[in-house]
Chains A and B, each alone.
Chain A
Amino acid sequence: GNSVTQMEGPVTLSEEAFLTINCTYTATGYPSLFWYVQYPGEGLQLLLKATKADDKGSNKGFEATYRKETTSFHLEKGSVQVSDSAVYFCALKGAGNNRKLIWGLGTSLAVNP
């Protein structure tokens, strides 16, 4: 079945450092891929998405490229801020009638000033 594997955290970075959070997936067909973010005390917010191979999703300085050849959707940001401290979730939604989101475990990011 479909699955998502995310790099384990926690990840601790200094402000302005480069961020990569790895995400790989297993799926039949052509899934859509999402990154959600959960700030402390809040719900799951959509950060970005990509719906076909080679698409790049971007938002708030974060980017992720849908790589079908490596079945990956790694999240990157060139210069993190303290306000980016949160838990980041990679998720996929299968093609066809698969309505549900399949989730990675989540990666906690702490950015220090």
Chain B
Amino acid sequence: EPEVTQTPSHQVTQMGQEVILRCVPISNHLYFYWYRQILGQKVEFLVSFYNNEISEKSEIFDDQFSVERPDGSNFTLKIRSTKLEDSAMYFCASSERDSSNQPQHFGDGTRLSIL
């Protein structure tokens, strides 16, 4: 069964440094998402992306965050200047269509640790 893949599985970065989290969505999917889960808290939506532009973003997704689909397969999340509170598990997801009843398929996540 096709999978969403995320790299790296664990990223350790010094505060203030830039970090790029990478995702390869399922190949025929058109809608892409990033979520994060801070330890002990709910999974939170960050951003959705379709047709090479952001379709929705949360309040968390401020100017320090950006997303890009640099080629036909990768979907990246960049944090420009990381803060301690960015430490979380980051999940990428994709879906074939964007209707309400379509499930999103998730990768295994990247654990980001900011020191």
A contact set with B: CB distance below 8 Å: 30-32, 34, 36, 41-46, 49, 51, 89, 91, 93-106
- B43 near A89 with CB under 8 A, answer yes
Interchain CB contact under 8 A, A44 and B101: no
Contact B106 A45 (CB under 8 A): yes
A43 near B101 (CB under 8 angstroms)?
A: no
Contacts of B41 in A (CB 8 A): 105
Cβ of B75: which chain A residues have Cβ within 8 Å of it? Answer: none
With A44-B106, A100-B48, A101-B45 as contacts: A32 and B101 at CB distance below 8 Å: yes
B18 interface contact, C-beta 8 A? no
Q: Which residues of B contact A97 (CB under 8 A)?
A: 56
Contact B106 A49 (CB under 8 A): no
B 7-56 contacts with A by CB, 8 A: 31, 33, 35, 41-45, 48, 55-56
A51 touches B100 (CB 8 A): yes
- CB <8 Å contact, B91 and A100: no
Q: Chain B residues near A96 (CB, 8 Å)?
A: 100
Q: How many residues of B contact A (CB 8 A)?
A: 26
Residues from chain B with Cβ under 8 Å of A106 in the complex: 42-43
Interface of A is mostly: loop
With A99-B31, A99-B98, A100-B48 in contact, is A49–B103 under 8 Å at CB? yes
Residues of B within 8 A of A (CB): 4, 6, 31, 33, 35, 41-45, 48, 55-56, 58, 91, 93, 98, 100-101, 103-109
Known A31-B100, A94-B100; contact A105-B42, beta-carbon cutoff 8 A: yes
Q: List 25 A-B contacts (CB under 8 A).
A: A30-B100, A31-B100, A32-B100, A34-B103, A41-B108, A42-B108, A43-B91, A43-B106, A43-B107, A43-B108, A43-B109, A44-B93, A44-B106, A45-B106, A46-B103, A46-B104, A49-B103, A51-B100, A93-B100, A99-B55, A101-B43, A104-B42, A105-B41, A106-B42, A106-B43
